[in-house]
Structures are given as C-alpha cells and as structure tokens.
Amino acid sequence: MGAVLAVRGTSTAWPDLPAAALMPGMFLTSSAQLPRRAWSEYREGERVRPAPVE
C-alpha cells in the first residue's frame, strides 16, 4: 500500500520497483522451502510398502 501511495504522490513508477523486486524473492524463498520441507517429512515418515500383487 505504501508503494501505491508513493507512486501516486511522486507520479513516477520508481516506488514500485522495490515492491516488484520483493515479490520474486518471496516466491523463490517459498519455492525452495517447499521441496526441502517435503523431503524432510518424507525421510521422517513411515516407509509405506506397496500392497502385494495377487
């Protein structure tokens, strides 16, 4: 919201650039965290054996 007010107040796009740079950083952080968390849960969890074929 602060970037919106700053853009409106300055009539330039420059205040939007830090906000736009922050968004990919948040995405990359969460996309790296997801497989790391899934892998740790997989390693800690019970080993599931497939059902025997009849």
Compute the distance between CA of residue 21 and CA of residue 33 in angstroms, rounded to an integer. Answer: 19
36, amino acid identity: R
C-beta separation of 15 from 7 below 8 A: yes
DSSP 1-54: -HHHHHHHHHTSSTTHHHHHHHHHHHHHHHHHHHHHHHHHHHHHSPPPPPPPP-
pLDDT in tens, 7-54: 888 888 888 888 888 899 999 999 999 999 888 888 887 666 667 887
Main-chain phi, psi angles of 6, to 5 degrees: -70, -40
**The pTM is what?**
0.50
